[in-house]
Every structure is written in C-alpha cells, then in structure tokens.
Structure 1
Amino acid sequence: MKLLRFTEGGRTRIGKLVGDNVIDLSGVAGVGTSMRQLLVDLPALRGALEAAVEPAYRAGEVKLEAPIDDPQKYLAIGLNYKAHAEEARAAGVPIPSSQLWFNKQVSCITGPYDPIEYPGVIEKLDYEIELGVIIGKRCRHVTAVDARSVIAGYFVTNDVSARDWQSRSPTFTLGKSFDTHGPIGPWIVTDDEIADPHALDMVLTVNGEERQRKSTGDMIYNIYAQIEYLTTVMTLEPGDILATGTPEGIGMAIGKLLKVGDVVRAEIGGLGHIENRVIAVD
C-alpha cells in the first residue's frame, strides 16, 4: 500500500493511493488521525485498509501532507555513500570509522510539495536526497538478519542542510533542523511492495539540472546494519524515521548551493517524488 495524509475540505485525514486516486481511510474502524498510531495497528487493520475503495478523490484535488507528522525520532546517518564520503574528505571532513548518526528535530518535517524556507540567518543552504525508512514495530537489540521485520515502509526525503550552522558545533543538529528542512513523502510505500530497498535509483534535480544520481545499493552501511547499530543503543518506536544517507553531488561539494527560487525535486524509483521551492523568510 501507499499510505498518506491528505487535506480536503479543510480536514486532514489518512488515506491510500490507488492509481491516480486518493482513498479516504478515515471511515475504516480503528483509523484515527495519527499515522504513527496506524503503523502500530497496521497488522490488525491491513485487511480492512486494503479492501477500502471509497470515498475516493482525484490526487490532484487534494493536498498531500507529510505522510507522518508525529514521529518520536528522526535520525540520519552521515557519509554513508563512498563517493560522498570521498568528496567530504576532499573538503577536509575525515571519513568516520563507524556509523555517524545525528538528529533532525521532528519540527523540521514538512510536506512533499511544501516550500523550503531560507531564513536570512543562513548563508549556505544545501540539499541531500535520501531514502527514508519508517519503523513499524517497537524494537531493541535487533540483528541485521531480523531488521527487515521491523520496517513499516519507505519514502523520499530531502535532508536539507544549513552548512554554516552545521559546522558551528560538534553535532550537526542545528544545521539539520531548521523548520521546513525535512520534506518527506509523498507517501509511505509499505515494505511488502519493495522487493529490495537496496536496489532503488535516486535522482535529485535543481531547476531541472541533475545534481545527484545513485542506487541505494551503494550504501556503505546498509539499512539492516543501520537498524542493528541503532538498536544496540536505543529502542526504536513505530513511526521513527531513519534517513539512510546521501550520495555525491551535494551543492557544497560542487559549488552550487541552493538559492531563493530554486525548485528541488527528489525522486526514488518505486516511491515517487517530492518537489519543493526555496522561499525567503525573515
């Protein structure tokens, strides 16, 4: 299934995408307004959700929202593609010897087609296409062999980064967490629909110019190794987001940082695309 959140008639609801139609799932018994709670209940509700065929809206007639707006954690791994790690090393950033994780504060999350804000306090704004993974089960001490069993699904994310703020402190959090700097979506593709999450093509363009293109198979630490590593430390909860790394071609490395008015499109095969315009704010 392709699970989503949408607004129509001034009301935001949970739905699913079938072809070009958004099916409203709010009438299914047990479905509320929280995608996080739906992921908890998904095993019990799956049959009813799959059977729902109405009410239906044309996708172009509704506003797609971030597919989840209430995760408890948004964790992202840095320097997880070989060529990107090398371009970072060329810029003076050492390649870590283990997985490098940081937080994006959940308040940065925004919709798949909503604007990216460029406040005046930022000097260097950048893009990073990434495969987003959403956790479906409360879990701790998960082995890589079992890791796929705790994944609810996948979506496209752009780890928008304020590079100047990122470099101001030992942790990346501030430079990764400005409001609207976490566009995600356009929906959650459930794990059963993806044969191999490590065989998906990623493409990011700015104003139609290709900047990044890579397969998710080029990760240094694959998704299952990431989950094993994280759950050694902490409990992951349903709805938690993992951003699994970006390939080479970031703006900082190629001398093409984002500007006001730029349109950033990030697409992953089988998952759809998100597209966001950069706007100026005070």
Structure 2
Amino acid sequence: MELLTFFKNGETRLGVKIDQTIIDVKAAAAVKSQEDIPTDVMSVIQGGQEKVYQLMTFIQELDLNDSDYVLNEHHLEWGPCVTNPGKIICVGLNYRKHADETNAPYPDVPILFSKFNNTLTGHKKDIAVPKITNKLDYEVELAIVIGKRAKYISKENALDYVFGYCVGNDLSARDLQLRTNQWLLGKTCDDFCPLGPYLITADVVGNPNNLSLKTTVNGEVRQNSNTSDMIFYCDELVSYISHHMTLTPGDIILTRNPAGVVLGLPENKRVYLKPGDVVTVEIEKLGKLTNKFVEE
C-alpha cells in the first residue's frame, strides 16, 4: 500500500495512491459516511495490519472517478509521509564505500544519533539553506518506519516489526556537524529531514537490503548505489536499537547514506548545496523525493 500526506485547508490529510490516482481519505470517508476509517497516517501506522486492511478494503470499494475525493498528485502540497514520529534515530557510517571515501574504519557496532521533528518536511517543499552553514550536504537514505512496539527483539524477527519504508534525505551541515565530536548540531536544522513522497508498506517492498538508491543535484548523478552495501542490515539495526530503547509505532530509523556525498570528495572539489539547487533522492520501489533549496 502507498500512503502519503498532503495539506488541505491548513490541515494534514492522509492520501492513498492507487495507480496514478490519489484518494483523499478524509473526503472519501465523509462521502461514504464511514466514521471509523483512519484519516491520518499516524493512525494507520499505530493501528497496524488491522487498520491497513480496513483502509485497503475501503479504498477498493470506492469509485475512482469521483471528483469529491480523487486528486491529481501534481496539484498536491506534500507533507512528510510520517508526520509525528516519537523518535528519529539515525545511523552513522553504515555503507562500506561511504566509509572508504571518508577514510573511516568500519564500525564494530552501529553508530547512533538523532534528529527531531522540526527537521521533517515533504516532497517538493522548498528548504532554506541556514545562514549559519556554508557546507550543506545531501544524503539519500532508506528510512525504516516501525509498526509495532519492539523491545529486545531478535534479528530473525526484527522485520516483522516494520510497518514500511520511505525515502529520506539526511541533510547535513558539515561545518556544524564536525565542530565537535557530537554530530547533532549539523543534523537538526529546520527541514533537514524531508521524507516521502510515499510510505510503502513492508509487504510491497520485500527485501529492504537489495534496493538501488540514487541522488541527483541539478540533474547530475551524485550518489548511485544499493542498500546491499550496508554494513549493518535493516534487521540488525532494528534488533540492535530495540535492545537499548523501546521502539514504538511511527518511530523512524534512517539507515545512513552510500558513497558520493560532497564530504567524500577531495577538498578542492567540494561544492556544497546552495540556494537554487534542486536535489532528488530516490530508492527503488519507494519513489523520488525532490526539494529545491532557497535562501533563508
């Protein structure tokens, strides 16, 4: 199932993509007088497979030609496909070739840090380059969205706790990130975590560790890799994190970026993001997430 969020009349709405059609779930529920249908993405995630099945059954019975609730995705104002995660957990140095390009040793255990909800934004939203940085970098990342409460779970069962996956861009102000040994400051400026366009349920994605992923800047390919290059795979990450904190539905794990970031280039070839740049990050089966950068 392909879920999304968009803004309408100042509120966040749940959408479902069927072929090339977007269903406004709240509008459809009103037309059909179905008050028990979940109308926001967090309700679906927190309701698990029962809510997914309920929503899918409801959508399958709709008339896809009804203009009261059928939308054109090109006219949407997109929101982040997960709107209110309890935690945004990021993984550092989790691709072999990225570690190689930055001359960093492979970690023995996952390196974890965090972002906050102020960093969330959506597809096609403009992102201001903060005045405080001169070294803004892109990072295409597979985002895991947790679907069930998880504590002390095994690697073998870990993916059973995943609701779905989406595309993320872990924007990083390198000058702020490397100012101290703690990376937090360079990772948490406003809108530094666009997510979307879609949240794809785990059953559609299948194996998350064999997905191609790519970044283009102004049409030029900068990153081109596969999640198979991860040092710690998705099941390992979910299991490991669950042994240190309780994961709850809606929590996001950003699984780190492959080679090709600006920071990995020789210093005399580094050209960081600037106002006017357009960045698209994409992952196989999950779609393309595009943002334009503007002056703050």
TM-score, shorter chain, exceeding 0.5: yes
User: Which of 140, 151, 172 is residue 140 of structure 1 equivalent to?
Assistant: 151
In structure 2, relative to structure 1, the CA distance for the partners of 1:37 and 1:106 (3 Å cut) is: same
Partner SS, residue 239 of structure 2: helix
Task: Name 1:168's counterpart in structure 2.
Answer: 179
Count of residues paired in the alignment: 278
Task: Name 2:4's counterpart in structure 1.
Answer: 4
Task: Name 1:43's counterpart in structure 2.
Answer: 49
Task: Name 1:21's counterpart in structure 2.
Answer: 21
The question of 1:152 aligning with 2:147 is answered no
Unaligned ranges ≥5, structure 1: none
Task: Name 1:57's counterpart in structure 2.
Answer: 71
Distance between the aligned counterparts of 1:82 and 1:12, measured in 2? 38
Could you list the per-position Cα deviations for residues 159-205 of structure 1 after superposition, in whole angstroms to 9, with x for gaps in the alignment? 00000111122221111010011001001000010121111110100
| 1:105–1:173 CA contact under 8 A, matched in 2 | no
User: Which of 222, 228, 236 is residue 225 of structure 1 equivalent to?
Assistant: 236
Could you list the per-position Cα deviations for residues 1-34 of structure 1 after superposition, in whole angstroms to 9, with x for gaps in the alignment? 0011122354431121111111122225434554
Partner SS, residue 80 of structure 1: coil
In structure 2, relative to structure 1, the CA distance for the partners of 1:171 and 1:20 (3 Å cut) is: same
Give percent identity, aligned residues only.
Answer: 35
User: Which of 77, 85, 90 is residue 71 of structure 1 equivalent to?
Assistant: 85
Distance between the aligned counterparts of 1:35 and 1:138, measured in 2? 17
Unaligned ranges ≥5, structure 2: 64-68
Two-structure CA RMSD over aligned residues (Å)? 1.5
Could you list the per-position Cα deviations for residues 198-231 of structure 1 after superposition, in whole angstroms to 9, with x for gaps in the alignment? 1111010000000000011111100000011101
| 2:96–2:106 CA contact under 8 A, matched in 1 | no
Task: Name 2:211's counterpart in structure 1.
Answer: 200
Distance between the aligned counterparts of 1:271 and 1:217, measured in 2? 16
User: Which of 113, 135, 158 is residue 124 of structure 1 equivalent to?
Assistant: 135
Q: What one-letter code is carried by the residue in structure 2 that aligns with 1:3?
A: L
Q: What one-letter code is carried by the residue in structure 1 that aligns with 2:73?
A: A
Q: What one-letter code is carried by the residue in structure 1 that aligns with 2:287?
A: G
- How much does 1:43 deviate? 2.0
TM-score, reference length from structure 2: 0.90
Distance between the aligned counterparts of 1:97 and 1:47, measured in 2? 40
Q: What one-letter code is carried by the residue in structure 2 that aligns with 1:63?
A: E
Could you list the per-position Cα deviations for residues 98-151 of structure 1 after superposition, in whole angstroms to 9, with x for gaps in the alignment? 211110112101112112221111121000000011000011011110011100
In structure 2, relative to structure 1, the CA distance for the partners of 1:34 and 1:174 (3 Å cut) is: farther
Q: What one-letter code is carried by the residue in structure 2 that aligns with 1:17?
A: K
Partner SS, residue 199 of structure 1: coil
Could you list the per-position Cα deviations for residues 36-66 of structure 1 after superposition, in whole angstroms to 9, with x for gaps in the alignment? 2321113222233112135221212322211
Task: Name 2:66's counterpart in structure 1.
Answer: none
TM-score, reference length from structure 1: 0.94
